[in-house]
Structure 1
Amino acid sequence: MALIKSIEEFQKWVGVNESASLEAVMGDILLVEDEIISKYLGRNFMAELDQKYNEAPDSLTELEVKLIDKLQQAISNLAQESYLDLNQVQISDGGIHIESTGSRKTAFQWQINNLRKSFLRKGYNGLERALEVLEVNIDATEFATWAESSFATAFHQFFINTAREFSQEYNIYNSRLTYMHLLHILKKAESFFLEPVLGPELFYELKDQIKDRDLLPENKILLEEFIRPALAHLVVSQALAEEGFRLTPDGIELTFGRFDDLNKEKASDSASQLNRKIRNAHQDGQAYLVKLRNYLDAKSSATVYSSYYESPLYQPPGGPKNIVIRNTDPTAKTFRFF
């Protein structure tokens, strides 16, 4: 049983021709549901949704139909990407062959690679939309199994938790795939840059409130006005110095080389332009940290931001300030606070 049960549902999201059969790709559909989708929704909720969809479709609510639609976008594209290699060959007792006739031949490798990139992007973006449906409607009774599970909080552990939130500060095209590959940098940036400014008490107070979805109004200001902009720019400055990301006219995106070494894309920017963008992103991020510290010093009291107010980090307005030393070396891997 799967959340896609007809070739028409599959063709809605993947432009395969009329002769394509769902049976050929069903193994990859089930694999994607088991290995990718269930990591975000949980097996219990997936089984519940699958049972209603396949055994009692008339009982599905409007919200469940909307969620399944987004999940089908994700599953179809990710399954087609998974099936792509096998789809290029024919396997028989005589071995493995490719089809090449006078009118048909296997696509060029660059065409296959572009398709793979497109399927991955569309698939993970569909997953992002599905998670948004769950998040916005977390109190809906039909989503109770998911809301009460650890999966509802497992991906609420950072200060930036969605591709859309990241793109509001630095454009990654709302790409879930790019966001996922930035997470290891985001995790380090929170520890290296944010915790020294906020202090451990306020840092983990914010973390807990984000996880519990009960962010106080004053903490929401910190998150939206200072923390997320700082993190996004600092993460981008580090990501651009690594292989696997590139600059485009609009922002930063994942390069296809992260998935296929045969056709790795190269950044179009010159080395000097790239270094300048890395430096600017880092300096902008540091500037937001300075604004964050100044704001906390100005607004903290025994009742507002009390954990910061009572920490050694608090500096009364008008007094000498701790200064963030900006490291403008685009290849630097460590930064220090004084």
Structure 2
Amino acid sequence: MALPCNWFRGWQAWITGGIWEGHMVKPKARANGGSRRNRDYPPMERLEGPSALLQHLMDAIDVIAQRSKVTRADFAAALGQSQQSVTKYFRGERVPSPDVLDIMCQVVKMPSMFGLNILYSLMPRTFSVETGSFPPEWSVGDLELLNSISNPAAYMRGPQMYPMATNDAWRQHFPWMPEPSDEFEPNLMVELMTNEGAPHTFGDSWPKVCWFALQYLVLFGAPTVPQKEIVELFTQASVNPDFGRYVMTVPDDDTIAEPTVVSILGPDNVRRPYNIKILAQKWQKPEAWDLFMLIPISQEDADTCPSAFEIPDLPDTAVATAAPGQAPRYPVALPVGTQN
């Protein structure tokens, strides 16, 4: 588990700089007049389409690198390329492959999934992480598929994780969770963070599942979900006293790749280990829903992936501060008073 670090604060600086919800901002000229030879990248107006969007991601990595004191030589050594080639990536003269972007993210200690997801989100025709609608529109067989699953399962509208429909096993395991309806759309992350039934059901793994749901929203939602909606969800969840530490405990690539194992007290009053799986359909309507499932696993397998999760204490320098009347800046803006 990686604590907040320079890449995270650099990401805050990039967001604070005005790039949000697809709005393009023109890079500021440098003090010497801002000629192209003295820029790390060309003016945005000279780029078109995906090239401009990609340049925003490279700009973000560049800001993070500066905050982390990572040099072009460091990138060159990691990539096995010349510094001149690396500079061309940042100037927009070469298009980095996903493998190159992966390595660049690792150099600045930024989860590669986070960086690649930004790229995919900036190019929605290439990849989209948004699924579902409210009220939901079901295709033939959707609800039959959900109800045929014997383990707890739900269709989610993502990446905010709004349950669109649940099966019998879900309702039996989580009787405290409100059911979605045409008039009301509960949020899984908010319910996990605030509902009194959640800690009883998840036991020692309650902090872990709260952190998982919150970081899923941060990783997949920050580039695509409207900031106002995220702030509203964070405001509701912030009554949890550990909210600030959850949101500032940033996963590294190894943590993201690990199975998310939780302990659940079943309707028979027996506690069992489960692995969280989130699946998406490829056909017929890929954007219709995400399938959120809890898969029972053996205790032997669970012991290799402990379900308990300790929230580390944060150094003072990792907690964002805000002037009176202003929201502090995390990957997205949090309401004032949610820092811990």
Q: TM-score, normalised by structure 2?
A: 0.21
Q: TM-score, normalised by structure 1?
A: 0.21
The higher radius of gyration belongs to 1
More helix by share: 1
More strand by share: 2
Higher relative contact order (CA 8 A, sep 6+): 2
